[in-house]
Chain A
């Protein structure tokens, strides 16, 4: 699977050695007893689920956070990193998952910002950037506005930023999260070139097949600590996955199917275009029946957000039809669709799901401003909203001092539970759940899944978008994969394997 030779691996000193590192926050232990050895001149992958502690560890390595215990040695010398500048001085550079780029500035300006002393901001800098870009095959034009760059190019600008500052050790946080397959291949080419030139790369991911194809060493993290250090040639994806979750993969629910043959949501040939006329969704067609959960798998950024927004009415389809219980709702606005019984658990709960500076009981009204129990005619029904908020807090186990607490004060998991409870009120016929358990602790996650299963038994149709394979396989009756705005494959959760899904999601091939 991977070569046995190790090009560029220097002898002797390890690039980074992390020993016994621990870090806690109020109420949370993010890292404990972390031990990692990263050999110089290698590509080292760090894998683990969401919440395993990878991000915190990387922030410690980059000087954004300081460890509570343990030591870090860079190139053999123990160091204390108090800020990103310290890390940069040690030759460590970080490419964040969410790019830190100013759209209206050029590549050059974004790269030299903060490091103007190195080569100035004029010709010398331009030359250096062109040099780096051609050495590593980035193909970047220093004078192009970042705004016009694609995702893969933007990532290369981020990598260029760290190289420009002399980084020898580069940390990449979930770099392939938003890339399409060709971009992933291009990135891996770049990473191999960097390794040739003697750089050390730390690659954080939860995409097991990618990790197996690029890494020289793999460290697995689970629940805040390191549980295994392996070589790619010694493990399979399945084994890695088990190390990550600590047990076998979830098996799909074995309860009886509740899928009826009454179509609830029918989407036909829907096409959505952006302001410039480019297709964001094309030829999208599917049907969800009452009592059915349709799971949409896919790498983030392939059209899932657009799909969700089109069905809830925040965007309008340029072509195609959408039918709810037989009625054509294609031209309807969000309010009408909600009144017709569509519930929406949004991906970004802070932007779309809550009024953060309002009390919980007022948040009960949000999205339900025209229906019981929140309103009576044009008037708000405060008592009704308050009573129902209490019910939601009870039934969904929302941990809060009371319903007068502002939404902002609750933890993400409890905010999400409240939102799910709210959207499931009033007997919706269709629930759009976009990453419904993202950033939610395992206990809350299980509770939310139970509520969805219960509702499904009572005839609810669910459109589930998720990046969590557990969730998709465990909840869905059918799984479809979305890639570049189109649906490219249908799978049965009872028989699908992670490799099948992964391949379809990355366009590497159809069902095994």
Chain B
């Protein structure tokens, strides 16, 4: 199949999904009597430079979250626990950095490493449960999400500092903060640590497609039986993938923590873990697709914030749009996949002579 045809087929599903989502969102708005015109004009308006910064920031967080989920998905492991992993990791990093045991940027570096370790461990727990006790990682990661919320809440209540309405960890010393990039003239900056998104993305692409480990991972996700016969230690792969997935999840909170909030508390941003799963599905678990998905979702969310003011529409409609995109895209991917397989088989049959391999055809 030619390259151009491959690309076309690759894009067909997401494009189709976005169109379907647009149609359905419009229909929902019509049904609830909202102003459809205003909705579209707001959503399609060019964002102000300040909003562009927000979009970039959010997209990088979503990207990290998407990659974390995708590492698991590639192995047919459903790590729904990204949310919980990033929460405990962010808490651990914030508490450590806030204690200020180490000076300046060393504090930052160690805290980030700690976040990765804690995230990995929280995910690794689910991985271990799966290989040793056969517990489905879907349920165990979801349970761990809930447990993480309660656990962090408990630890905050014991060690946290109450500041007005929320309880937070101690503020991180100024010398450990990470500055941002001034991309536009606004006071809002792009998080310094958002480059993690780029680093992780490149690493993900390289490891997945160019290393032996990545091959083993993809093979196990594609056909576990073939992977076993080829020498892959599946149990080890499961645990390692969950650890990696959790480590990346641990990074999700870092840009915000060191670039904006400077402590972790009850008002820290939540929900990115779940949206990341949606982004991974939209991007079909590949590094570039996830990036595009993250940008789309971040764009939608940011524009959505304006809906209340500019169009009198609840911003929740954006959540509907995002949800429909996910559902439509997974269905569309299935359809495209089958179409593509048929195309390929026809191409092979056309090129190759018929044979008297009877057992074959009737098997």
Binding site for B on A (CB under 8 A): 25-30, 50-53, 55-56, 59, 223-224, 312-314, 333-339, 344, 346, 351-358, 362, 365-370, 375, 378-380, 382, 399-401, 404-406, 408-414, 439-444
Contact = CB atoms under 8 A, between A and B. Distances in A.
A153 B232 CA distance: 37
A352 B225 contact: yes
Contacts of B231: 313, 333-339, 367, 369-370
B233 interface: yes
13 contacts: A55-B359, A224-B358, A335-B232, A338-B230, A346-B229, A351-B226, A352-B225, A358-B219, A366-B226, A367-B230, A408-B345, A409-B347, A441-B360
Interface stretch (B19-27, B93-101, B142-150, B205-213): B205-213
Interface string B197-222: 00000000000011111111011001
B186 interface: no
Q: Name which of A335, A405, A411 has the most chain B CB atoms within 10 A of its CB.
A: A411
Contacts of B358: 28-30, 51-53, 56, 224
B15 to A, nearest CB: 22
B157 to A, nearest CB: 45
Contacts of A52: 358
Contact of A355 (B210, B223, B347, B349): B223
A411 B360 contact: yes
Interface residues of B, number: 40
Given A29-B358, A224-B358, A369-B216, 8 more contacts: A27-B353, A334-B228, A352-B226, A354-B226, A375-B212, A378-B212, A380-B212, A406-B341
A338 B227 CA distance: 13
Interface in B346-363: 347-349, 351-363
A413 B199 CA distance: 44
A31 to B, nearest CB: 9
Given A409-B347, A413-B355, A441-B357, A369 B230 contact: yes
A100 B82 CA distance: 41
Given A409-B344, A411-B352, A334 B229 contact: yes
A333 B209 CA distance: 25
A28 B359 CA distance: 10
A443 B358 CA distance: 13
Contact of B215 (A334, A346, A369, A440): A369
B350 to A, nearest CB: 9
A127 to B, nearest CB: 39
B324 to A, nearest CB: 27
A409 B216 CA distance: 22
A223 B359 contact: no
A59 B362 contact: yes
Nearest to B206: A379
A314 B353 CA distance: 37
B1 to A, nearest CB: 8
Nearest to B231: A335
Contact of B361 (A28, A334, A352): A28
Contacts of B233: 333, 335
The 7 closest A-B pairs by CB, nearest first: A27-B354, A335-B231, A441-B357, A352-B229, A367-B230, A334-B231, A51-B358
Contacts of A26: 349, 354, 361
A412 B357 contact: yes
B215 A412 contact: no
B361 A367 contact: no
Contact of A27 (B228, B344, B361): B361
Interface in B1-49: 1
A369 B347 CA distance: 29
Contact of A353 (B210, B226, B352, B355): B226
A366 B227 CA distance: 8
Contacts of A369: 212, 215-216, 230-232
Interface in B310-363: 341, 344-345, 347-349, 351-363
A222 to B, nearest CB: 11
Nearest to B355: A441
A334 B212 CA distance: 16
A28 B222 CA distance: 30
Contacts of B229: 312, 314, 334, 344, 346, 351-353, 367
B357 A411 contact: yes
A414 B355 CA distance: 11
Nearest to B363: A439
A223 B357 CA distance: 10
Contacts of B351: 399-401
A50 B222 contact: no
A409 B1 CA distance: 12
B230 A30 contact: no
B347 A401 contact: yes
Contacts of A413: 355, 357, 360
A412 B363 contact: yes
B360 A28 contact: yes
A441 B358 CA distance: 8
A51 B358 CA distance: 5
Nearest to B342: A409
Contacts of B228: 314, 334, 352
B348 A405 contact: yes
B27 to A, nearest CB: 35
Given A28-B357, A29-B356, A367-B229, A409 B348 contact: yes
B230 A400 contact: no
Contact of A370 (B212, B218, B219, B354): B212
Nearest to B214: A380
Interface string B270-302: 000000000000000000000000000000000
Nearest to B211: A378
Output the residue of A30, A355, A400, A404 with the most chain B CB within 10 A. A355
B134 to A, nearest CB: 14
